[in-house]
């Protein structure tokens, strides 16, 4: 069915309530006149309302079914129409408002073939993408990211003038990326890398900047390995993996070491063992603090350990590092905290904004006054030193396993998106 027909049906359905209200007003007027005329109405409006509501529900259900049966062809027609007209802004808006972006991503490469110049169209669609409110800007960047990812799946011939124009956009994107936070920071990092990769701008940025972006969004699935192969030279993969280790993103370091065949230098078994030891040491220090704070730390450690278990299952690493070792530690931590099922309750509470001085019914009281700001580490212990090194050799010796910056969320104890406030970090973590 043509998109015009679907649009007309949708518009007509949206008018049902308006027309029904107009009909109700006419009926009430007619009913008021019936008492002074020969006209006798034996029906009430509720009878009509019930009838119209039933019909409306049936029409909406059938229209949804029609959309479900024909999304692919309809979407393809829209995408090709927009690309054929080089309407990059329209394409971006359509993607931004789409409910199923994964479907669009699969169809974009074919649609791009209809465009006179797909790379130029996508670049034009990025004009002013950082303008407007933060929420609106995030949606626009999401649409731009999908468009760029679609281009990544094609062989492109980027002209010099287009490359120069793309560099200006990339520099702006990178500046904004550096001051963003939370989920927006991860989206910014991924979109920036796509922009640099699609338009061949790797020479315009330092390798440290690119590696930092990979580290930021490494916890997400996406197409990180394909993108990494395209952008990071083979002799720099070790630096990327080491940076993941330094930020306590051990699970992601293991995944990259396997994908890029670096397990001889970054042994999954060794990395997992060191992370388990780290959890043990963290709890030894944390036990010196109050029970509420201890339980909060336990939640973070359990999340990190469970991500290890998932990685062991996903990559079949049972022979390298038996997951029962990690499972037993998780059970031990849960029993020690004595909250069992309350872990799930706490996670749900963490996702909701909480007033700072509000006591949680289960086990957490979020107040800065209950959290010590110093004195957590054992006497004479340098920051994180008890947990050993997993560094690789180089000038000046091996690098420390422990984080030199706030580690991103997803596989470690401290979250890079500031979801865990600075006052809740043990003193042996760098602030």
Name the residue among 28, 20, 29, 16 with its Cα closest to residue 49: 20
**Quick check: 425 pLDDT over 60?**
no
- pLDDT at residue 339, rounded to an integer: 58
**Quick check: 342 pLDDT over 60?**
no
pTM: 0.61
Q: What does the buried/exposed string (b/e) look like for 248-283 if buried means 16 or more CB atoms within 10 Å of the residue's CB?
A: bbbbbbbbbbbebebbeebbbeebbebbbebbebbb
Q: Are residues 359 and 399 in the same domain?
A: yes
The overall average pLDDT reported for the chain is 76
Q: Are residues 273 and 403 in the same domain?
A: yes
- pLDDT at residue 423, rounded to an integer: 29
Q: Are residues 33 and 158 in the same domain?
A: no
Residue 248 in domain:
no
Residue 258 in domain:
no
Q: Are residues 408 and 290 in the same domain?
A: yes
**Quick check: 265 pLDDT over 90?**
yes
**Quick check: 180 pLDDT over 90?**
no
Instruction: Report d(CA 124, CA 127) in Å as an integer.
Output: 6
- pLDDT at residue 166, rounded to an integer: 95
Between 18 and 392, the more confident residue is 18
Classify residue 154 as left (phi > 0), alpha (psi -120 to 50) or beta.
beta
**Quick check: 404 pLDDT over 60?**
no
Task: State what percent of residues in the chain have pLDDT above 70.
Answer: 71
Question: What value does the mean pLDDT take over residues 53-70?
Answer: 80
Q: Are residues 163 and 204 in the same domain?
A: yes
Q: Tokens 């034996």 label which residue?
A: 42
Full domain range(s) for residue 395 = 268-424
- pLDDT at residue 203, rounded to an integer: 93
Residue where one domain finishes, among candidates 207, 232, 257: 232
């Amino acid at each position: 069915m043509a998109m015009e027909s679907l649009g007309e049906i949708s518009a007509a359905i949206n008018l049902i309530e308006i027309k029904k209200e107009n009909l109700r007003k006419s009926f009430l007027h007619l009913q008021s006149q019936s008492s002074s005329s020969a006209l006798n109405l034996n029906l009430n409006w509720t009878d009509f309302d019930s009838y119209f509501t039933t019909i409306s529900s049936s029409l909406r259900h059938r229209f949804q079914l029609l959309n479900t049966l024909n999304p692919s062809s309809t979407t393809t027609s829209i995408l090709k129409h927009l690309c054929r007209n080089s309407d990059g802004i329209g394409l971006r808006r359509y993607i931004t408002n789409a409910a199923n972006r994964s479907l669009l991503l699969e169809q974009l490469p074919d649609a791009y073939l209809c465009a006179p110049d797909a790379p130029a169209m996508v670049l034009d669609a990025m004009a002013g993408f950082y303008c407007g409110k933060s929420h609106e800007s995030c949606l626009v960047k999401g649409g731009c990211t999908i468009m760029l990812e679609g281009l990544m799946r094609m062989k492109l011939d980027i002209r010099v003038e287009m490359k120069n124009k793309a560099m200006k956009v990339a520099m702006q994107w990178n500046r904004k990326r550096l001051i963003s936070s939370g989920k927006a920071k991860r989206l910014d990092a991924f979109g920036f890398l796509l922009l640099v990769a699609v338009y061949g701008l790797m020479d315009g940025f330092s390798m440290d900047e690119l590696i930092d972006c990979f580290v930021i969004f490494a916890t997400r699935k996406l197409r990180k390995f394909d993108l990494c192969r395209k952008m990071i030279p083979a002799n720099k993969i070790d630096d990327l993996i080491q940076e993941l280790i330094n930020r306590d993103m051990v699970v992601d370091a293991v995944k990259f070491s396997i994908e890029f065949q670096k397990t001889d230098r970054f042994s999954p078994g060794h990395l997992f063992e060191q992370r388990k030891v780290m959890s043990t040491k963290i709890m030894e220090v944390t036990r010196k603090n109050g029970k509420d704070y201890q339980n909060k730390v336990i939640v973070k450690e359990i999340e990190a350990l469970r991500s290890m278990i998932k990685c062991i299952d996903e990559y079949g690493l049972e022979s390298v590092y038996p997951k029962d070792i990690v499972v037993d530690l998780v059970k031990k931590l849960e029993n020690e905290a004595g909250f069992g099922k309350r872990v799930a309750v706490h996670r749900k509470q963490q996702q909701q904004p909480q007033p700072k001085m509000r006591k949680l019914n289960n086990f957490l009281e979020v107040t800065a006054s209950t959290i010590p700001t110093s004195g957590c580490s054992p006497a004479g212990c340098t920051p994180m030193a008890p947990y050993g090194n997993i560094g690789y050799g180089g000038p000046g010796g091996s690098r420390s396993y422990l984080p030199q910056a706030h580690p991103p969320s997803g596989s470690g104890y401290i979250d890079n998106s500031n979801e865990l406030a600075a006052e809740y970090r043990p003193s042996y973590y760098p602030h």
